Amino acid sequence: MSRRKILLIIVIVVIVLAVAGVVATFLGIDLFATVSGEASKQPDSYSSVDALKSGKAYVWHHDGGDIEKDLKKGADESIFFTCITGDYNFKNEELGEEIEYPRSIWVSSDTDNRIPTVTYKDKLIYVSSTEVPQEIVFERFADYGYSIGISNMEADMGGHYYITFADVDDDDYKYFIDLNSDASQLTELTAITRLYLDKVGDVKVDEEHVSDGGTVMGLKKDKAYTCEFYTGTYYQDFNLTANIHCFGSMERFINYDYEFMHSNFIVIDIPEYFKSGYYFVNGVGLFRYVSDGDAGKYNGKSYDAAIDWNDPIILYDEDGVVIYDPSDPDFEEKQQEQKAQEIEEKSDKGDESIDDGNE
């Protein structure tokens, strides 16, 4: 091939790349980021224990299988499933107890089928090349179903709902908006203290249609809605999709029971008092637990409205005092000691009143 032809080919290639770059820029597409993103995607299920990564939790699920046999020879199908994280608003505070803002997890509707399920047939495992955890932290998250990518709304004295947008910091909204959902476009608004949401389609955002986690209820999965926001008294319409599976922190438990497996992981025991629900284990991933009582009716899908995923384990009285906590082995003893102390205090007060009367 002559130099002239080679030069002509090079010029044509350069022109094609330049045109593609202009088109991509015009459309808002980052070609290199897209390619890099696709290449960096990691599988979340594995057939061999050797493929598991340190610092991750997994669910072993193998119908008719035996975990010890699978450790020796592997399997012909995926049997280890990663506990995914989704998007969440407590980065670098995965194991934190101090709560400045409500802790939320958002999982897109095309991803929530990757949340692994644990039943009595399965095993929850944890991998680490550096340490054995001194305690296993289970943070339970309430399931609020599918909504737009906004959580933790609050009501003002008039019953109108809002999120804190930019109060203490200019980006306070990151605790309320899933920045990987289409609701992220709200961050382009001028900084205001409160951003109000009045309607989602025909749904009025009021106490009847807002969950305990501050999400809009009653929306159809994957349906787009025109949402009526207010910056001050000015309305702002945004088209948002109800394609986010929303979760909010509700309980926290610590367990210490696990088993070595003569392999590269430990098996974590699920406490007997656990109820069906979603649990974020040791700050690394979320799994769906289905109790023995619910296993027969669970539909096996990403969402099952027939199961109460939010039935509390720890019970409180109307004053917020714990009246039942199966996670504390000394709870009953503490309760008895407290009652004995209350009786003693009442008795002492009675003696004092008698003495006062004699005087």
**The pLDDT of residue 43:** 79
Whether this prediction's pTM lies above 0.85 is answered by no
84 near 278, Cβ under 8 Å?
no
Segment 185-209, tens digit of pLDDT: 999 999 999 999 999 999 999 999 9
pLDDT, one tens digit per residue, over 90-114 is 999 999 987 789 999 999 999 999 9
Q: Please say if the pLDDT value at position 349 is more than 70.
A: no
Helix axes 31-40, 3-27, angle to 10 degrees: 80
Lowest-pLDDT choice from 20-29, 134-143, 182-191, 318-327: 20-29
pLDDT of residue 350: 62
Between 29 and 309, whose confidence is greater? 309
What pLDDT score does 98 carry?
76
pLDDT attached to residue 36: 28
The domain limits of the chain are 3-38, 44-143+245-313, 149-241, 316-345
Strands 285-289 and 117-118: parallel
Would you state the pLDDT for residue 2?
Answer: 53
- The distance of Cα 157 from the centroid of its chain, to the nearest Å, equals 29
- What's the mean per-residue pLDDT of the chain? 87
Checking if the pLDDT of 276 tops 70, the result is yes
Report the pLDDT value the prediction gives residue 49, as an integer from 0 to 100.
94
d(CA 288, CA 279): 7
The confidence score (pLDDT) of residue 163 equals: 98
Note the pLDDT of residue 19.
42
Mean pLDDT to the nearest integer, 24-28: 37
**Where is 246: in which H helix or E strand?**
strand 244-255
CA angle 110, 288, 296 (to 5 degrees): 105
- What pLDDT was estimated at residue 219? 98
What pLDDT is recorded for position 359?
57
What are the angstrom distances between the C-alpha of 51 and each of 209, 260, 353? 44, 18, 74
Triad 187, 189, 194: Cα angle to 5° = 85
Task: Calculate what percentage of the chain has a pLDDT beyond 90.
Answer: 70
At residue 327 the predicted structure's pLDDT band, cuts being 50, 70 and 90, is confident
Quote the tokens at residue 220.
Answer: 């159809």
DSSP state of 187: G
Q: What is the mean pLDDT of residues 210-227?
A: 98
| Tens of pLDDT, residues 61-75 | 999 999 998 998 878
pLDDT at 75: 87
Contact predicate 87/106, CB 8 Å:
yes
110, 78 Cβ separation under 8 angstroms: no
Whether 10 has a pLDDT exceeding 70, the answer reads no
Residue 49 DSSP SS3: helix
